[in-house]
Amino acid sequence: MAGIKVGSLGDYIREQRQHAQVSLRQLARSAGVSNPYLSQVERGLKKPSAEMLQQIAKGLRISAETLYVHAGFLEERATTSDVVGAVLADATLDERQKRVLLDIYDSFRRENASSSTAPTKQPTKQPRKQPTKQPRKPATTTAAATRAAKKTAAAEKTGTKRATPTTPAKAVTATAPRRTNS
């Protein structure tokens, strides 16, 4: 087992966190580690265990194997020959499909190689597309109108007059008008 490259591991974790546009506190919370501990790992002051690396990888949504390689726990595998060999050996793909897959794979590898050597730049924010506004359909009844209708119906059954939105909000008892003898 190779020794831990702590400084480069911390730089890699910080780079991945910044690329994901996640703050240190957000990553610490999602990974289930303390904020100071994660800060010390990023600065190269702490050597994380395999379990901690797995939690950090989960928080970053990357494979734990990638962090293990950067920490020196695993040797980097030659994945190029594995992928190319698998594509070429697949009998269900025709030659054109194999060529297209390998071209795409090569373009991704070139893109990642150039981005890892180039200084990291902050992604530019794209303006959000405004959703097209569709005319609203008029509501046939609202919740308030439904409640008011129910209260009015209940008041009519009991013989009390309920206040309407245009009258004061107190119940008035319905009484028959008094006749005076003249």
Handedness of CA 108, 110, 111, 116 (dihedral sign): positive
The model's pLDDT over 18-58, given as tens digits with 9 standing for 90+, comes to 988 999 999 999 999 999 999 999 999 999 998 999 999 99
pLDDT value at 172 more than 70: no
| Spatial separation of the C-alpha atoms in residues 85 and 79, rounded to whole Å | 10
Most confident segment among 60-69, 81-90, 153-162 = 60-69
Q: To which residue do tokens 């206040």 refer?
A: 163
Which residue is it, tokens 């265990």? 49
